[in-house]
Chain A
């Protein structure tokens, strides 16, 4: 049981390049999330998904797209990277029991855009 895994762990992009971050979970969770973490700003939700084939915008969705074609995978795409997207990106999946959500986090992807 690997939990939540993220690929890659580190990446350096030039401005304007594109990339996809992959998140996978083996816990059969319905809910998945992408966050970015920046110093002094905590975690900000980019996009989330409440089930296979569904996605929704979070607080800071601009410049990112997502897809959830399979229940276990949640992909985050940057079509044209900008220096403002330099951050640590965390994926999480969640079990839900009524209004109780326990989130399980991946180890993070550190992205630098030059």
Chain B
């Protein structure tokens, strides 16, 4: 089955860019997702990318996909204290009716 890996923790200063990285194992994954979990809450979809794209930009968010290396990243420009949360990478594999989540990266933004 699919395996999705992320680093557990990232600390950045307010105003800097944050880059959260993720690797996955199933090369047939068609959609890759980034979810955000704020303290005490469930996950919310932040953005996603289809596997035939290399990059997707959405306001302060940029998603980069390297299919050859099975590497996904989420860049947050001008990081704010409100961006402090846990960010989950997720991938679905073709034919499976479910999505595999990574371990989550806790982003700490220092004022």
Contacts and interface: CB of A to CB of B under 8 A. Distances in A.
Taking chain A's interface residues, is the majority helix, strand, or loop, or is none over half, making it mixed?
strand
Interface in B54-111: 88, 92, 94, 97-104
A103 B101 CA distance: 11
A107 B41 contact: yes
Contacts of A50: 97
A69 interface: no
Interface in B30-54: 30-31, 33, 35, 40-45, 48, 50
Given A40-B103, A42-B102, A103-B45, A31 B97 contact: yes
A33 B43 contact: no
Interface in A18-32: 31
Contact of A99 (B44, B45, B94): B94
A108 B42 CA distance: 6
**Residue among B6, B31, B88 facing the most chain A CB atoms (10 A cut-off):** B31
A108 B41 contact: yes
A27 to B, nearest CB: 13
A41 interface: yes
A90 B42 contact: yes
A58 B98 contact: yes
A42 B43 CA distance: 11
B9 to A, nearest CB: 10
B31 A100 contact: yes
Contacts of A13: none
Nearest to B93: A99
A31 to B, nearest CB: 7
Nearest to A44: B101
A58 B99 CA distance: 11
B92 A101 contact: yes
Contacts of A106: 42
Interface of B: 1, 4, 6, 8, 30-31, 33, 35, 40-45, 48, 50, 88, 92, 94, 97-104
